[in-house]
Amino acid sequence: EAGVAQSPRYKIIEKRQSVAFWCNPISGHATLYWYQQILGQGPKLLIQFQNNGVVDDSQLPKDRFSAERLKGVDSTLKIQPAKLEDSAVYLCASSLGTGVVEQFFGPGTRLTVL
């Protein structure tokens, strides 16, 4: 079974530039999550999708971050414009549903903002 795919793996940009990350979840997984993991900390949920609908985006900085999952499969996360404090690893995860189910994580995209 293929895992969660993410691209790119690494990205270096200057502050005020824009960047986009892509995620393809495990086939058949209805729930998709984007997390931000700052060095030395645990992941923080940015947004959760159930199929193509947003379930929770309470911690997404909506003035600069946006995400979509138009066809209920793959998803993109965008930052525009980026700030220095956005430097982090962005993890995508997917699960079959909600409740006591396992989330499967992708390898992450490491973003460095200079």
Partner 1 sequence: KNQVEQSPQSLIILEGKNCTLQCNYTVSPFSNLRWYKQDTGRGPVSLTIMTFSENTKSNGRYTATLDADTKQSSLHITASQLSDSASYICVVTPSGEYGNKLVFGAGTILRVKS
Given the rule CB under 8 A, which residues bind partner 1?
A: 4, 31, 40-45, 48, 50, 55-56, 91, 93, 95, 98-108, 110
Please state, as a whole number, how many other Cβ atoms lie within 10 Å of the Cβ of residue 94: 25
Q: To the nearest whole angstrom, how small is the minimum distance from the Cβ of residue 73 to partner 1? A: 19
Nearer to partner 1, 18 or 97 (CB): 97
Nearer to partner 1, 49 or 65 (CB): 49
Q: To the nearest whole angstrom, how small is the minimum distance from the Cβ of residue 15 to partner 1? A: 24
Q: To the nearest whole angstrom, how small is the minimum distance from the Cβ of residue 27 to partner 1? A: 17
Q: To the nearest whole angstrom, how small is the minimum distance from the Cβ of residue 23 to partner 1? A: 11
Please state, as a whole number, how many other Cβ atoms lie within 10 Å of the Cβ of residue 100: 5
**13-16 contacts at long range (C-beta below 8 A, 24 or more positions apart):** 13/82, 13/111, 13/112, 13/113, 13/114, 14/82, 14/113, 14/114, 15/81, 15/82, 15/83, 15/84, 15/113, 15/114, 16/81, 16/82
Nearer to partner 1, 12 or 14 (CB): 12
